[in-house]
Structure 1
Amino acid sequence: MTLAIPPTDADVTPRRLIMLSVPALLIGVVSALVLWALNSVSEALSSVLYDTIPGALGVDSSGWWIVLVLTVTGLAVGLVLVVAPGHGGPDSATTELAEPPQPLRNLPGLAIVTVLALAGGVSLGPENPIIAINVAMLVAVGARFMPKVPARLTGSLAVAATIGALFDTPVAAALLFTGIVASLKSGGALWDRLFLPLVAAGAGAITMHLLGQQAFGFNVPGYDGPKPPDLVTGAIVACAATVIALAMLAAFPVVYRIMHSLRHPVLIATAGGLLLGLLGLLGGPITMFKGLEQTGDLLANSADYDAAQLAALAGIKIVALLVAASSLFRGGRVFPSVFIGVALGLLASALIPAMPVGLAIGAAVLGVVLVVTRDGWMAIFVAVAIVGDVSVLPVLCVIVLPAWLLVTRAPEFRIAPPASESAVAPPPARG
């Protein structure tokens, strides 16, 4: 079952949209609650691992303790993948944001390894696994309690709701689904087809707000508005960040093959955890975890880093993302890419002092996210959300064009799934 956005144009009526808005709202609230629960459990476990236990033992949690915790995290993830029913589902390195629903037996193992990775400091975000969990769970529940709602619609709304909750706004889901709608052949008015995903995404975003969760809210110097030189410097920074991200993309399958040469899941994940621990020891806690909170810390303390240090932070996070994504850890690649983009943007601002900081950050984030998601709308949205200033939008809409020319022929930022998986699962929706 490929995720799409039914109903077709012939099925769309105001009455039907109103009736389906009720399950869409429910799907939005439930998706946000599941995300909140997963985040809360992982944050509580992380506090135990990095605060309570080292505090009780009197050890420095920013030293070799990082190596120990991440190595044990890798070992634990590997063991769960071996013994859990469904083995935690497909390797996240082979999946996109929107995928067909997994069997329910995969979900407990997937949830456990996701919590372990987030808590232990693995450089991956929660987006891929939490979307997979919500889609599988809500499709199954919908088939039982809402049999009149098509399973394809339930899955699509779960994707939209989770994206809305993850990115703190339904706009992210609308932009992503605009691309999916454009690829459909059945026609129909765009806003008729986006109506229900926006309802679900809005409910998810509002629920996360009510729970006190906020994805973005960084303090970035304001942008005074477009000026002719900004188009040149912005395009240079965006293209440079894109080239760096393309190099990361080229290295991804190489790192993946190296890690998977160990063959056994426990060995792969444990070795990955050890390498991530050493990288965390080298770069410090700011280069660990999914990267969202660390992005805020980097922006708040950007004056403490010179150009060489910013380049080192970006480089360490790039390697950490590649190792984490190649070592059977379950997680997404969007949030770590945001940290990389911000570090590169601050580096660009340090190298080009006349360039506004907000524009430098926005351009670099745009370039990196563009490669990771292969979605121009999503790249622009994330860049604007990080900068927090809509006045940068006109420049980003122009500088995304040369960056896209660099990306358009590049492969997707994922590993092709093994033949055994692709033989039993339909091709994923683009995400």
Structure 2
Amino acid sequence: MAQDTARQPPPTAPAAPARALLPFILPAVVVGVVAALVFVGVSTAAEKLQHVLWGPLPDALGVGRYSVLWMFVMLVATGIAVGLVVWKVPGHAGPDPATLGLDAPVLPPEVLPGLVLAAALMLAGGPSLGPENPVIAVNVGLATWLGTRLLPRTPGTLWPVLAESGTIGALFGTPVAAALVISEALAGKPLRGRLWDNLFAPLAAGACGAMTTSLVARPTFDLGLAPMGRPHAKDLLAALVIAATAALLGLCAVYAFPYVHAAFRRLRHPLLALPTGGVVLGGLAALGGHLTLFKGLSEVGELARNPEGWSAGRFALMAVVKLAALVVAASCGFRGGRIFPAVFIGTSLGLCAHALVPAVHPSLGVAMGVLGMLLAITRQGWVSLFTAAVLVASPAILTLLCVASLPAWLLVTGRPQMQLRPDGTPVR
């Protein structure tokens, strides 16, 4: 009898009845739509300001739009503007961005306007960071503040998850990314009910965020590269080498991150650290060219439209410069995320591999470069695989991505992350 009891499988968590999940639909829909509108609003405002700052304004002054002089002027001016926001605006634009990841803390409402302003100025001014981290933080704070007041009986822990899911769905234009991120966050945590019961409301928020963005802005991650045919043994070898190389290069930036951050931290004041960061970023932009500016998504499209347009050395230079710019921008205090710049770096590395060895298909090179770089920078396995896959939209590469992710993950797992604790030590 004891043996029969020992052989019985462990009991599975009971599934939640439908009536227990239905009350979460309306909050998920509202949060998803609002999160997407916040993302689109911040992005649109930043793009309009960017158009003025990097178009009519330098033309009126008789300065080249992407001349070395103007890049220095704009990046230093952006550092001063963001520094003033961090110094004077209530809430100081939130905590040190080097300490934040995608799982944003719940910030008080008075912090959110300054964080939105700092993020919009950064996006328009040219530093190499994306919108994801500050927009997620704003949506998490906004959803929690409003949700706990309008629906006080709803569990307070639900609002940050819905806001994060809605924002990620809006960022990528699909709820799949949100589901993958949330499922990865739930791994190892005790769950109430089945996994899909726990994913139900976040997936609804992600779907609504993605649909809202698609209707308003029509985003796409597909670079339009020619799809690859049936893979061969040489393609597998290329996939393993490119993904591992990108992961190792990303780890170099991760290990440098706390030291660069400590150097800027010694300046002690945002009006010193951020303009100094702007000076360094200006020098990097002069070295790498204007394509290494901004969050990198539009610039990735420009690279993909002409994969043969640059030499291997030029692609490698842009990748290294962009990686250094990412480290500097994230260290000196600019408010922004690291996923979009990492996509540019991985794309440059992949096209560099194609330029060095023409037998490497451009789609294969881009997918593996992005995979390895994102694994090192974000330590988000599902997001790395998903992003690399949607960029090239080539079914033949999916198997190679899964295989190449294994050695790349062995290289990065257990290493320091590109995120710091408040005392400046890296998170592991």
- Give the TM bin, normalised by the shorter chain: over 0.9
The question of whether the paired residues in 2 share the 8 Å contact of 1:161 and 1:197 is answered with yes
Q: Distance in 1 between matches of 2:366 and 2:178?
A: 23
1:34 lines up with 2:38 in the alignment: yes
1:76 lines up with 2:81 in the alignment: yes
Pick from 15, 21, 26 the counterpart of residue 17 of structure 1: 21
Please identify, of 358-367 and 216-225, the stretch whose mean Cα deviation from structure 2 is larger. Answer: 216-225
1:300 lines up with 2:283 in the alignment: no
Alignment match, 1:407? 412
Structure 2 counterparts to residues 263-302 of structure 1, below 5 A: 263-302=268-307
Task: List per-residue Cα deviations over 1:17-61 (Å, max 9, x = no partner).
Answer: 222111101110000000010001111111111112112222211
Q: Distance in 1 between matches of 2:400 and 2:194?
A: 29
Q: Distance in 2 between matches of 1:19 and 1:366?
A: 38
Alignment match, 1:240? 245
Alignment match, 2:149? 144
Q: Distance in 2 between matches of 1:312 and 1:104?
A: 42
Alignment match, 1:129? 134
Task: List per-residue Cα deviations over 1:111-166 (Å, max 9, x = no partner).
Answer: 11101100001100010000000000011111111222212111101000000101
Query: How many equivalent residue pairs?
Result: 415
Q: Distance in 2 between matches of 1:9 and 1:292?
A: 42
Over 3 Å counting, the alpha-carbon distance change for 1:215 and 1:94 in structure 2 is: farther
Deviation at 1:227, TM superposition (A): 2.2
Structure 2 counterparts to residues 202-281 of structure 1, below 5 A: 202-281=207-286
1:183 lines up with 2:188 in the alignment: yes
The question of whether the paired residues in 1 share the 8 Å contact of 2:58 and 2:64 is answered with yes
Task: List per-residue Cα deviations over 1:382-425 (Å, max 9, x = no partner).
Answer: 10011122321111111100111101121111122239xx9xxx
Alignment match, 1:334? 339
The question of whether the paired residues in 2 share the 8 Å contact of 1:166 and 1:215 is answered with no
The question of whether the paired residues in 2 share the 8 Å contact of 1:235 and 1:399 is answered with yes
Q: Distance in 2 between matches of 1:10 and 1:156?
A: 22
Q: Distance in 2 between matches of 1:71 and 1:9?
A: 55
Alignment match, 1:102? 107
1:47 lines up with 2:68 in the alignment: no
CA-atom RMSD, angstroms? 1.8
Deviation at 1:9, TM superposition (A): 5.8
Q: Distance in 1 between matches of 2:236 and 2:301?
A: 26
Q: Distance in 2 between matches of 1:347 and 1:98?
A: 33
Deviation at 1:215, TM superposition (A): 4.1
Question: What TM-score does the superposition give when structure 2 sets the normalisation length?
Answer: 0.94
Deviation at 1:307, TM superposition (A): 0.5
The question of whether the paired residues in 1 share the 8 Å contact of 2:169 and 2:178 is answered with yes
Structure 2 counterparts to residues 377-388 of structure 1, below 5 A: 377-388=382-393
Question: What TM-score does the superposition give when structure 1 sets the normalisation length?
Answer: 0.93
1:174 lines up with 2:202 in the alignment: no
Alignment match, 1:5? none
The question of whether the paired residues in 2 share the 8 Å contact of 1:127 and 1:331 is answered with yes
Alignment match, 1:3? none
- Seq. identity, %: 44
Q: Distance in 1 between matches of 2:231 and 2:307?
A: 24
The question of whether the paired residues in 2 share the 8 Å contact of 1:121 and 1:290 is answered with yes
Deviation at 1:187, TM superposition (A): 5.3
Alignment match, 1:361? 366
In structure 1, the gaps of 5 or more residues are: 1-7, 423-427
Provide runs of 4+ in structure 1 moved above 3 Å: 8-11
Alignment match, 2:5? none
Q: Secondary structure at the match of 1:87?
A: coil
Task: List per-residue Cα deviations over 1:243-263 (Å, max 9, x = no partner).
Answer: 111111111112111222222
In structure 2, the gaps of 5 or more residues are: 1-11
Deviation at 1:100, TM superposition (A): 2.2
Q: Distance in 2 between matches of 1:210 and 1:107?
A: 26
Alignment match, 2:353? 348
Q: Secondary structure at the match of 2:245?
A: helix
Q: Distance in 1 between matches of 2:85 and 2:105?
A: 23
Please identify, of 252-261 and 35-44, the stretch whose mean Cα deviation from structure 2 is larger. Answer: 252-261
Q: Which amino acid aligns with 2:354?
A: S
